[in-house]
Amino acid sequence: MPHILITGANGQLGQALASCFSSAKQLTCWTRPRYDITDPAIADAVAETKPDVVVNAAAWTDVDGAEKSPQFAFNVNALGPKYLAEGCARCGGSLVQISSNEVFAGEPGRFYHEYDQTSPGSVYSRSKAAGEVAAATALDRLFIVRVAWLYSAGSNNFPAKISAAADRHGSLRVVSDEFGNPTYAPDVAVAVAKLIETQRYGIYHLVNDGSASRYDWATELLRLTGRGALQVDPISAREWPRPTTPPPHAVLVNQAGAALGITLRDWRDALRDYVQTELNK
């Protein structure tokens, strides 16, 4: 297995990637503050380390916060990938740039394939789209991997927050007109490992199969955790005001990965595994 360098190794996906690549002959994990991808010198650090593959799991993921701090969001999500790609170009490595379903407008009823035209709206989504372009401009040996509604162990994700809110309030109001692909980070990590082996660079949508609304996702989680009798009221996104408006139907289709035999299981099966392995610890 090649020398893998993971940036953002302490995040949800970064930890899943580190676990997945734990048997690699050489695995390097970078975290802030020692390794800050917004520093142009990170390109020098990559070139000196000489990894075969950099997997960039570092990102500004605070979608609402990006509206207040656009400069910081673009520093992390656009300039960071640029510097990493430049470092890879200098040492002959390749880059896996993790991107987002939110680069699409999310038109109701629309399902997005890898080569559909992006149309980002929010600061966060524009910064992620800019990161794709910046990396592609600097490097040919590039995988762009878009994910959606990512979750794993920890408390900073939708399932964990829903579980905590259910215990705290006894009833919930959940948006029912925003749709996406609930995607389990360990499944993405395995798919990324398979993708790297192909050396077929390009754009990929690596998400768990199927789609759901936030309401669907929440009610399935509550059912799996024995809270199925809890009252959950569906509401519209307009009834849950936020600093930014997420795309209402940014549902991704895995076509390019599937053509290579790389598919992820149904989101319900992944959620069941999450409940059994994470919430029951």
pLDDT band at 280 (very low <50, low <70, confident <90, very high): low
In the chain, what is the straight-line distance between the N-terminal and C-terminal CA atoms, in Å? 31
- 23 confidence band (pLDDT: 50, 70, 90): confident
The closest of 128, 147, 140 to 191, measured between CA atoms, is 147
pLDDT at residue 24 greater than cutoff 90:
no
Give me the mean pLDDT over the 223-231 stretch. 93
| Residue partners of 275: CB distance under 8 A and separation at least 6 | 221, 224, 225
Rg (CA), the chain: 18
Please state whether beta strands 94-100 and 212-213 pair in parallel, antiparallel, or not at all (unpaired): unpaired
Q: Would the pLDDT of 279 be above 80? A: no
pLDDT band at 269 (very low <50, low <70, confident <90, very high): very high
How does residue 277 score in pLDDT terms, banded at 50, 70 and 90? confident
Q: What is the pLDDT of residues 58-83, one digit of tens each?
A: 999 999 999 999 999 999 999 999 99
Share of the chain above pLDDT 90, in %: 91
Per DSSP, what are the bridge partners of residue 202? 143
Domains defined along the chain, listed by start: 3-155+181-211+249-272 (3.40.50.720)
Q: Are 59 and 125 in contact (CB under 8 A)?
A: no
Residue 203 pLDDT greater than 90, yes or no: yes
Average pLDDT over residues 6-27: 94
User: In the predicted model, is pLDDT for residue 218 greater than 90?
Assistant: yes
pLDDT averaged over every residue in the chain: 95
Question: How far apart, in whole angstroms, are the C-alpha atoms of residue 158 and residue 152?
Answer: 10
The pLDDT score that the predictor gives to residue 154 is: 81
Q: Return d(Cα 121, Cα 204) in angstroms, integer.
A: 21
* Bridge partner list, 106: none
Q: Which of 6, 20, 277, 64 is nearest to 159 (CA)?
A: 277
In this prediction, residues 38-53 reach a mean pLDDT of 98
Question: Which pLDDT does position 198 carry in this prediction?
Answer: 98
Would you name the residues annotated as active-site residues? 124
Strands 212-213 and 179-180: antiparallel
Residue 156 has pLDDT above 90, yes or no: no
**pLDDT tens digits, one per residue of 174-198:** 999 999 999 999 999 999 999 999 9
State the pTM of this model.
0.96
pLDDT score of 22 more than 80 = yes
Residue 93 clears pLDDT 80, i.e. is over it: yes
Contacts with 278 (C-beta within 8 Å, 6 or more apart), sequence order:
152, 153
Residues 60, 267, 143: CA angle, nearest 5 degrees: 50
Instruction: Report whether pLDDT(234) > 90.
Output: yes
